[in-house]
Amino acid sequence: MSLPDWARAFGAPLFAATIRATPQDFQVTEELGFEFTGDGEHDYLWIEKTGANTEWVSRQLARFADVPAKDVGYAGLKDRHAITRQWFSVPRWHAPQWYGLEVEGVKLLDVQRHNKKLRRGAHKVNRFYIVLRGDGLHTHAEAIERRVQAIREQGVPNYFGEQRFGRDGNNVSLADAWASGKRLPRHKRSLAISTARSFMFNDYLDTRVQAGTWNTILPGDKANLDGTGSVFDVDNVDEEIERRCSAMDIHPTGELAGDGSTGTNDAWITALGKARVEPGTRSLRLNVTSLSCNIVEDAVELSFALGRGAFATSVLRELATASATGETSV
């Protein structure tokens, strides 16, 4: 199925472009939010990978170290069709000699020691370098610079990216099947639940973007402290709340549907209730930090940083219609 063209904050895309013309055109570098202990039971490997997905690399590391694949840790899934740098943790049970590692598309950059396994979501930010290519892009330079400045000052709507919904939106059909009572393997059930919640969140965010309130805290909203999972109720919006929201210190949130929620798909809501899924929250606004833009003839070079759980496509769709292969998740 085709996905909705959820509303954009700053108007129509300014240009059409190609993304990922080469792996060098899409680079992601992970930053963890903690310091290594320097000793402990886990080796932390700083890996650069090209043309390989994170789960496949983790299995290769497990095989090399002779440990179960489930004991290899990583903070998040990174793009296959890109050059990405991220940390992996591997138990030191057999003291592997890591600099003998030879895996196609994988380069070992550093080895550290730590006392705990690397858990999902443990990274602080991902830093992106992305090149958009197309004929005559320099002719749009002034408009692009204005749009980039608006994104720098206001952020972008924090949509879940298209890849959350699978190729051609196939995960949406999976969510429908799950909601209709079809029995699914555990991993597909989790995927169906995630898809349903993400789709309804995007629907809600779309209504806020259309109303011009995606970056404004309204009475009754829950506010999210920037860069954290901390949220608090806002019964009344006073000058201090408005000031903090304008300063990107706090953001309005939307619900990730669960038991007792309302939403745009009654069947999904009923199924989430039966599964006793706990409702959650997600910021409606994505703070795009360290954003820079360089326009050279037929290319637009972008650098920026996003917090965990964010999608680079949320930034790119406010600038361009980009045709690509592969994923753009973080």
Q: Which of 237, 238, 209, 204 is nearest to 221 (CA)?
A: 237
Q: How far apart are the first and last CA of the chain?
A: 24
For the beta carbon of residue 28, count every other beta carbon within 10 angstroms.
22
Tell me, yes or no, if 79 is annotated catalytic.
Answer: yes
Structure tokens at 207: 């209504």
Is the distance from CB of 131 to CB of 301 less than 8 angstroms? yes
Catalytic choice (79, 176, 206, 226): 79
Measured between alpha carbons, how far is 124 from 34 in angstroms, rounded to an integer?
9
State the DSSP string of 96-129. Answer: --GGG--BTTEEEEEEEEESSPPPTT-EEEEEEE
Q: Which of 90, 83, 31, 28 is nearest to 60 (CA)?
A: 90
In the chain, the amino acid numbered 224 is N
Measured between alpha carbons, how far is 146 from 265 in angstroms, rounded to an integer?
37
Measured between alpha carbons, how far is 31 from 44 in angstroms, rounded to an integer?
13
Structure tokens at 82: 């890109």
Helices (H), 66-185: 141-154, 170-179
Residues assigned a catalytic role: 79
